């Protein structure tokens, strides 16, 4: 699990930083006597999302979470998101990692998020979600197969780091855990243990402006 998390962080951080450097213009300072305004306005609206990718020799997962949000105050962003995730665990014939069972899952869902910034580069995130999950498994020793389609609520809580320029762009990395204990949550492994949720993402404001 640790190898999977570290691999995902390194891969996504490298790719998104490169993207940000290619697309962020040189910052220009402007001055205005008008105080900045916040709320559900087009000037404060951003779109983007996060990616996830991990592999440790036994487990593989990949996912994407597009999002749309608003900067409601200097210290608070909020919005809605979608989830698409795939994960798999290969069978272990030596019964060391699992009981020689190949397992796969796919989930999609909807949710909302809020980010509280006590300082501009650090934030706390809360993320209620509802996901629909399809599980499948095959016992490679007997050939028996099984499947399950279900749904589950999750409530992610965590902390993150960001390079946030209000009105321009936002790059972030967040680590979260599911605070609920639903056994069918996509953020728990097949034994029910809560897994760290690593999200690395990039947002772009639809009506960019300087000086904020």
If we measure between CA atoms, which residue out of 49, 80, 83, 52 comes closest to residue 170? Answer: 49
Question: What is the per-residue pLDDT for 31?
Answer: 39
Residue 152 counted as domain residue: yes
The domain of 156 spans 2-26+43-205
Query: What's residue 96's pLDDT?
Result: 76
The larger pLDDT score, comparing residue 88 to residue 160, is at: 160
Give me the mean pLDDT over the 134-138 stretch.
92
Q: How confident is the model at residue 119 (pLDDT cuts 50, 70, 90)?
A: very high
Instruction: State the average pLDDT over residues 158-163.
Output: 95
> Is 36 a member of any domain?
no
pLDDT confidence of residue 169: 93
Mean pLDDT of the residues in the chain:
81
Domain count for the chain: 1
Q: Which residues is 82 bridged to in the sheet?
A: 110
Model's pTM, two decimal places? Answer: 0.75
- Residue 194 located in a structural domain: yes
In a domain, 38, yes or no: no
Is residue 34 situated within a structural domain? no
Residue 161 lies in a domain: yes
Q: Is-contact 67 79, C-beta < 8 A?
A: yes
**Structure confidence at residue 40 (pLDDT):** 85
| Residue-level pLDDT at 188 | 79
**CATH code where residue 76 lies:** 2.40.160.20
Say if 31 falls within a structural domain: no
Share above pLDDT 90 across residues of the chain, in percent, rounded to a whole number = 49
Is 18 part of a structural domain of the chain? Answer: yes
Q: How confident is the model at residue 11 (pLDDT cuts 50, 70, 90)?
A: very low
Confidence of residue 36 (pLDDT cuts 50, 70, 90): low
Q: What is the DSSP string of the chain?
A: -HHHHHHHHHHHHHHHHHHHHHHPPPP-----SSPP--SSSGGGEEEEEEEEEEE-SSEEEEEEEEEEEEEEETTEEEEEEEEEEEEEE---TTSSSSSSEEEEEEEEEEEEEEEEEEETTEEEEEEEEEEEEEEEEEETTT--EEEEEEEEEEEEEEEEEEEEETTTEEEEEEEEEE-S--TT-TTB-TT--B--EEEEEEEEESS--S--
């Amino acid at each position: 699990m640790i190898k999977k998390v570290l691999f995902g962080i390194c891969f996504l951080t490298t790719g998104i930083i490169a993207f940000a450097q290619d697309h962020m213009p040189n910052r220009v300072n402007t001055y205005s006597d008008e105080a900045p305004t916040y709320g559900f306005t087009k000037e404060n609206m951003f779109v983007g999302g996060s990616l996830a990718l991990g592999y440790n020799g036994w487990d593989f997962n990949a996912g994407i979470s597009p999002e749309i949000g608003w900067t409601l105050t200097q210290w608070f962003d909020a919005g809605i998101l979608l989830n698409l995730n795939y994960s798999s665990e290969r069978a272990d014939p030596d019964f060391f990692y699992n009981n020689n069972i190949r397992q796969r899952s796919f989930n999609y869902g909807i949710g909302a998020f809020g980010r509280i910034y006590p300082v501009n580069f650090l934030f706390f995130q809360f993320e209620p979600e509802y996901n629909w999950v399809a599980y499948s498994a095959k016992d490679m020793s007997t050939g028996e197969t099984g499947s399950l389609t279900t749904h589950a609520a999750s409530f992610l809580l965590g902390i993150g780091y960001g390079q946030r320029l209000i009105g321009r762009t936002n790059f972030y990395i967040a680590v979260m855990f599911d605070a609920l204990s639903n056994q069918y949550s996509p953020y728990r492994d097949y034994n029910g243990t809560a897994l760290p949720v690593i999200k690395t993402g990039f947002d772009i404001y639809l009506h960019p402006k300087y000086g904020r």
